[in-house]
Amino acid sequence: MRYETLRISIEEKILTITIDREKQLNALNTQVIDELHQALKEAYGDEKVKGIIITGAGNKAFVAGADIKEFVGLNKEEAFRLAKKGQQLVFDFIESGSKPILAAINGFALGGGFELALACHFRVASANAQFGFPEVGLGIIPGYGGTQRLPQIVGKAKAMELVLTANRINAEEAKSLSLVSQVVLPEYLIETSKQWMSQVLSQSPEAISSAIKAINAFYKEDRDAGFNTEVEEFSTCFLTTNYTEGVDAFINKRKPQFK
């Protein structure tokens, strides 16, 4: 299948999916979500594919967030459907996938991009990578699983800090928090990511699949309640005047004036 927002390549059983919206810093929109789902679905069913790497086009951004322009005018119910669809089609689909998926993070991983990286089974970052959740500055919260997956890795206190302050962290701090497995120079990112994936693929594929399922199972008690709460609270933010102010300020490149 041909994709408009993705580039697909395969080498030595490793499928690389590149989100190809470089001018938009690879921001996630509904088309990217739909095409990512289809590409992953095909990869899961392809016996030639044993592992998957997700990265972004260019050297500035992995994914700099969701496409905020698609948020304009959404009501609560529409925002709920947007977040729920994204979680089901991509983020949960990655996390629960039977094949190992690595995020090769080349630059900004913000908002939905950070959430995409967190949904992958492990991560390698270039030295220029930055991570953060800017959502509260828009009058909303992460809606693709960020409030649930981040504390699983960094703990509740650090997750609260990162989400509530909207502060960014660099690649080395991300490594110190176990968010990424290795930090490398940008020119070595894909090569190093393939080395990591090759090491995984040298093991039993059935055992790898079982390990992913077993590790995920540790976090599944009350997991659905947590994700459902996130979707509910994300969409509730769309009822507020501060959401309207935050998105308008973002689009018009000014500082928001929250009340």
Residues belonging to the active site: 115, 135
Give the number of other Cβ atoms within 10 Å of residue 123's Cβ: 27
Residue with tokens 């030595």: 12
CA distance readout (Å), 92 to 70, 120, 213: 21, 9, 12
Alpha helix stretches (DSSP H) within the chain: 30-44, 76-86, 92-95, 112-119, 146-154, 156-165, 171-176, 189-201, 205-217, 223-236, 241-251
Phi, then psi, of 215 in degrees rounded to 5: -65, -40
Contacts for 115 with CB less than 8 Å, ≥ 6 apart: 91, 142, 144, 145, 146, 149
Complete DSSP assignment for 149-174: HHHHHH-HHHHHHHHHH--EEEHHHH
Q: What is the DSSP letter of 64?
A: -
SS3 15: strand
| Nearest partner of 242 among 130, 139, 135, judged by Cα | 139
Nearest to 46 by CA among 91, 8, 87: 8
Whole-angstrom distance between the N-terminal and C-terminal Cα of the chain?
48
